Structure 1
Amino acid sequence: MQIRLATDADRPAILDIVRPILAAGDSYAVDRDLDDAAIAAYWFMPAHEVFVAEEHGQILGTYYLMANQRGGGAHVANCGYMTAPAARGKGIARAMGEHSLQRARQRGFRAMQFNHVVSTNTGAVALWQKLGFAIVGTLPAAFNHPEHGYVDSYVMFRSL
């Protein structure tokens, strides 16, 4: 598997990964009913450096890297990650997480912060903790989960 910068040719495959995850509404605080143009505008916004995880020509996952804030907070990175459903459990998310930490260091970021990790997304919470992130804040009932109702979200942080 290799992780590389996304190209325009990757957009359809990336949309095929991102579309159903956003529509499920259980892990991202983004509208669930976005059309393809809005999904592409979100994932490929100018502030995002977008990567894909690819194996044998098939895109298995994608992530973006950006500054978490502007100005005085621009030294802290932020990312969003998505793995194709058929590729889950194969270490893709972990590889993208490790790659993003390395890329953030290369870009001069001093830390990485996730602003809204949904507490019921236990696989993501556990992975980020294994990669050195700590839960530094709990946002009570901050996410309206389609199955569980209002659940907590976590702010997760680690220094680089």
Structure 2
Amino acid sequence: MQIREFAEDDWSQVWPIVRDVVRAADTFTYDPTMTAEQAYPIWVEKPPGLTVVAVEDGRVLGTAKMGTNRPGPGAHVSTASFMVGAEARGRGVGTALCRFALDWAREHGYAGMQFNAVAESNHPAVAVYRRLGFQVVGTVPGAFAHPTLGRVGLHVMYHGF
């Protein structure tokens, strides 16, 4: 598996991953009815941010975006988001993308990485993030409307460098 910078031609493979994850409405706070045209500028970061794809045999298995969490006085903290195609889950793609994002943030001089909204019910992602050194620094109770579990908390997670 190779992780490389997103290229325009990748969108035809990235969009189905984004679409399926967003429509499931069980992990991301994005509008489940968003279109490809609405999703593109949200997912594809402009510099100095970066969007990448995890590719194997010409097939996109997953994608990540990373950049500054907040501008101004908070610009020293990065953030990232990850999506993995259903058929590639459980193969380490999300872990590899997260490691890539952490390395990218360190190389760009950030003081740490913050995730603002991790559904506490997203146990696989929370486990990966904890294994890679993130801590839950707070949970907003009932802030995420999960389609089957009802309202669950959203974790704020942080990894300092």
- Place the TM-score, normalised by the shorter chain, in its bin: over 0.9
Aligned to 2:68: 67
Deviation of 1:111 after TM superposition, in Å, equals: 0.2
Aligned to 2:150: 149
Aligned to 2:135: 134
SS in 2 for 1:31: coil
Aligned to 1:38: 38
Matched, 1:3 2:3: yes
Deviation of 1:45 after TM superposition, in Å, equals: 4.5
Letter in 1 for 2:4: R
Aligned to 2:102: 101
Deviation of 1:46 after TM superposition, in Å, equals: 2.9
Matched, 1:125 2:133: no
**Count of aligned pairs:** 160
Deviation of 1:153 after TM superposition, in Å, equals: 0.9
SS in 2 for 1:3: strand
Letter in 1 for 2:141: P
CA distance in 2, matches of 1:108, 1:19: 32
CA distance in 2, matches of 1:49, 1:17: 18
- In percent, how many aligned pairs have the same letter? 37
SS in 1 for 2:136: strand
Deviation of 1:8 after TM superposition, in Å, equals: 0.4
Letter in 1 for 2:61: L
TM (norm. structure 1) is: 0.97
TM alignment of 1:8-87, pairs within 5 A: 8-46=8-46, 48-87=49-88
Letter in 1 for 2:39: I
SS in 1 for 2:70: coil
* Long gaps (5+) in structure 2: none
CA RMSD of aligned residues (A): 1.0
Letter in 2 for 1:12: S
Deviation of 1:107 after TM superposition, in Å, equals: 1.2
Letter in 2 for 1:16: P
CA distance in 1, matches of 2:2, 2:36: 26
CA distance in 1, matches of 2:103, 2:45: 22
Letter in 2 for 1:46: K
CA distance in 2, matches of 1:53, 1:4: 7
TM (norm. structure 2) is: 0.96
2:141–2:154 Cα contact (<8 Å) kept: yes
